[in-house]
Amino acid sequence: MAIFVATGAALAAKYWGRSISANANESCRYCGDAGVMRIFFGMACLHFLLAVATIGDTRFAAYMHTGFWFAKVVLLTGLLVGGAFLPLRGLLVFGEMCRWVAMLFLLFQVVALIDLAYSWNESWRSRDDELAGEWRWRGSILAVAFALYSVSLAGIALMFEYLAADGCALNTALLACTLVAAVGFTALSVSPVAEHGAILASAVVTAYVVYIAYSALASAPDVGCN
């Protein structure tokens, strides 16, 4: 729950911080990208402390997962308030650390999505096997995959139209790489080379990669290209 609240607060700070702040000037500490980093610095510190407190299979560690809610709220509030006093240099160091950790997080998300898609695929295929080989659920797999690919291709086309204007060579290159990778990995997954390939898993990963590409391009600092 705290993560959703923090995400909402971070979005408000990034896009509407200066308009809702009574101190909407350069000294506004919870406005723009700096506000986002201060909020998630507090969240990162909270979860790091909780991770340390729950090391080991102890009664205290178990209770830390389910109790001490008032203390957690007070601690998070203190960390968020304390983030306002974090100097700009400290924010830049924290932001650079987040860039590297985010790559590991994205890799973990891809692995989790692939596992989910394979489980989904096997579940629906097994239902067809129980129906004496009917293609009712296999048809559903193809329909979902087709829908995901359609949305992904439409997203890429829209990004080429609105986020790859003249002079935005990096955006164009990123979108081209995304499209080539999606086609290449899809072809590989349905070829004899990939013995356990599944079109549904490829469609899920393709949709996720297209979303990541949009998120990256929309967050680019060059306003003329996003």
Residue 174's identity, in one-letter code, is L
pLDDT tens digits, one per residue of 73-122: 888 888 888 877 888 788 888 888 888 888 888 888 888 888 888 888 88
Residues 141-145: what's their mean pLDDT? 89
Band (19; pLDDT cuts 50, 70, 90)? low
**Which carries the bigger pLDDT value, residue 208 or residue 218?**
208
Give CA–CA dist 2/170, Å, rounded.
35
| Residue of 67, 81, 75 whose CA lies nearest to 39 | 81
Give CA–CA dist 143/92, Å, rounded.
45
Distance (Å) of CA 125 to CA 46, 64, 82, 193, 219? 43, 41, 53, 21, 39
Using an 8 Å Cβ cutoff, are 78 and 71 in contact? no
Band (156; pLDDT cuts 50, 70, 90)? very high
Top-confidence range, 117-121, 143-147, 169-173, 216-220: 143-147
Q: pLDDT value at position 51? A: 85
The torsion angle over the Cα atoms of residues 163, 12, 99 and 77, rounded to 10 degrees, is -170
Band (162; pLDDT cuts 50, 70, 90)? confident
| Residue of 150, 162, 168 whose CA lies nearest to 210 | 150
- The model's pTM is 0.72
Residue 3's identity, in one-letter code, is I
Give CA–CA dist 181/175, Å, rounded.
10
- Least confident piece of the model among 5-14, 110-119, 193-202: 5-14
To 5 degrees, how large is the angle CA 7–CA 160–CA 170? 75
Does position 186 have pLDDT exceeding 90, yes or no? no
Band (147; pLDDT cuts 50, 70, 90)? very high
